[in-house]
Amino acid sequence: MGLSVDGLGRVDLDGVYRAEYGRCVATLTRLLGDIGLAEEAVQDAFATAVQKWDRTPPNPGAWIVTTARNRAIDRCAGNPPARPATPRPCC
């Protein structure tokens, strides 16, 4: 996928977002099993792209998915899911 670059050499991140966001979230949702975590990780990856990309990587969608997956893994490793409460009898 080609990305447009304006006259100042800036990457069209809006175009990348429109083209790749849904696909990236769907991929991460399948990998992680949690759409909320997937959306948050993809948003973090796009925020990282804004800071780091001076040129568009050859496959921006793969870059976003890889970065988002790594962020999600880091987040899960740092915050393991809470143990479910032991059910108490209602009576």
Q: Which one is predicted more confidently, 4 or 43?
A: 43
E strands, the chain, are none
Average pLDDT, the chain: 82
Beta bridge partners of 33: none
Looking at residue 1, its pLDDT comes to 43
Dihedral over alpha carbons 49, 36, 75, 48 (to 10 degrees): 10
Return the closest-CA partner of residue 40 out of 75, 78, 82, 77: 75
Looking at residue 20, its pLDDT comes to 95
Looking at residue 2, its pLDDT comes to 46
